[in-house]
Amino acid sequence: MKIAHLSSAHPRHDIRIFIKECQSLAAAGHDVTLVVADGQGDETRGGVNIVDVGPKSGGRFSRMTDTVRRVKEKALALKPDVAHFHDPELIPAALALKKAGIKVVYDVHEDLPRQVLAKPWIPALARPLVSRAVEVMERYAVRRFDAVVAATPLIRDRFAGWVPIAVDVCNYPILEELLNDTRWEDRADVACYLGGITRIRGIGPIVEALPEAGVRLKLAGPWSEGGLRDEMVKQQGWSLVDDLGVLDRAGVAAVLREAKVGLVTLFPTPNYVEALPIKLFEYMAAGLAVVASDFPVWRGIVDDAGCGLLVDPQDPAAIASALKDLFADPERARAMGAAGRAAVQKKYSWAAESEKLVALYENLEN
């Protein structure tokens, strides 16, 4: 089957899109092309043809118009059997592809109507109205698509009944990348945070907690809000932060081999409280104890595995207390890390999720 994955916003080597989904489908024997917009040119990697429609230019509006148009035109020129798109802004383009006789799969990474409620660039009073409008738009469009691939079971359930096929393909880690035999004694007494860095992903309370905890932080990921890094640099806790920037997969694995504790303290926004953040499972796979937000869904994972401590993510004192507890009791932290690793090997690996994705395409082919 000829498949075109489409993104107007994500980086070409995005973990979920390229490394996991595209390469899994290519390994299953499909002809897979990934259309991106970054100006880095075309390439072939991991059995996947990456086609570049040129860099994004201008602001958000330009990306949602000109860039979307270029992605749509390239997808039409490719004439795939299936167009599998990853950005909500591509919904109008996907509807046009469907009208052209191409099967369409909508990959829903996040609960968009709930995500809108926390968007800082939308005026607060307007967010509920925008959220409702987005939900109506999604419902209209999805009824015309062939399938939805959802990043969590809860998102899948929201689309069930609107589309012929709705399947959850969770963003669990590729174990081969992260499992290692690093002895606990050989790890440093440091914590880490991996992933996009924003206010609502908890960077402020984390930095504030570090002096009280007396713990050094390895920080890796893109700063996604203007001025936020400058604000954090002025905090007392910044002297305990190693800002490593954006790392490749080998760099991420190196940090996970070094650290003993992983932080995933996202704020309780409507979108995050029911999410399954990849960093949580990456920490677990690598044998780190975790300090995580005390959300019901996350509590079920962390308590069931016995792999870490849950905190109020907006309370620096609570984060500091959890870090102090773990580093003061290394045997307890080591046991939590081992328990998390065992849970990931048993329940939370990409191997089973890739099988669900490949099975979806078998259904679309029939």
- In this predicted structure, what is the pLDDT of residue 366? 77
pLDDT of residue 12 exceeding 80: yes
Q: Which of 263, 68, 346, 311 is nearest to 255 (CA)?
A: 263
Nearest to 31 by CA among 19, 49, 46, 17: 49
Q: Is the pLDDT of residue 244 over 80?
A: yes
Whether the predicted pLDDT of 59 surpasses 80: no
Q: What is the distance between the alpha carbons of residues 356 and 160, in angstroms, rounded to a whole number? A: 16
pLDDT exceeds cutoff 80 at 323: yes
Residue 121 has pLDDT above 80, yes or no: no
Asked whether the predicted pLDDT for residue 95 surpasses 70, the reply is yes
Mean pLDDT of 349-353: 94
Render pLDDT for 204-227 as a digit per residue (tens, 0 to 9). Answer: 999 999 999 999 999 999 998 889
pLDDT classification of 61: cutoffs 50, 70, 90: low
Q: What would the pLDDT profile of 328-349 be if each residue is shown by its tens digit?
A: 999 999 999 999 999 999 999 9
Which segment, 128-132, 249-253, 356-360, is predicted with the most confidence on average?
A: 356-360
Q: How confident is the model at residue 131 (pLDDT cuts 50, 70, 90)?
A: confident
The per-residue pLDDT for 65 is 81
Confidence at residue 225, expressed as pLDDT on a 0 to 100 scale: 87
Q: According to the CATH classification, is domain 175-348 in 3.40.50.2000?
A: yes
Confidence (pTM) = 0.85
> Which among 234, 213, 226, 219 has a CA at the least distance from the CA of 324?
213
Over 80: is that where the pLDDT of 318 sits? yes
**Which pLDDT belongs to residue 263?**
98
Q: Using one digit for the tens of pLDDT, what is the confidence trace for 153-168?
A: 999 999 998 999 999 9
Contact 98, 145 (CB under 8 A): yes
Per-residue confidence (pLDDT) for residue 92, from 0 to 100: 95
Structure tokens at 176: 């081969």
Distances in Å between the Cα of 285 and the Cα atoms of 13, 34, 160, 345 are 21, 28, 31, 7
Average pLDDT over residues 19-46: 97
| pLDDT tens readout for residues 230-243 | 999 999 999 999 99
CB-CB contact of 170 with 297 (8 Å): no
Mean pLDDT of 187-193: 97
Q: Which residues pair with 4 in a beta bridge?
A: 33, 83
Domain limits of the chain?
2-171+350-365, 175-348
Q: Determine if residue 141 is left, alpha or beta; phi over 0 gives left, psi from -120 to 50 gives alpha, anything else beta.
A: alpha
Note the pLDDT of residue 219: 98
2-171+350-365 maps to which CATH number?
3.40.50.2000
Q: What is the pLDDT of residue 232?
A: 98
Do 2-171+350-365 and 175-348 show the same overall fold? yes
Span of 26-40, 111-125, 285-299, 307-321 with lowest mean pLDDT: 111-125
Q: What is the mean pLDDT of the chain?
A: 94
Q: How confident is the model at residue 112 (pLDDT cuts 50, 70, 90)?
A: confident
At residue 288, the pLDDT reads: 97
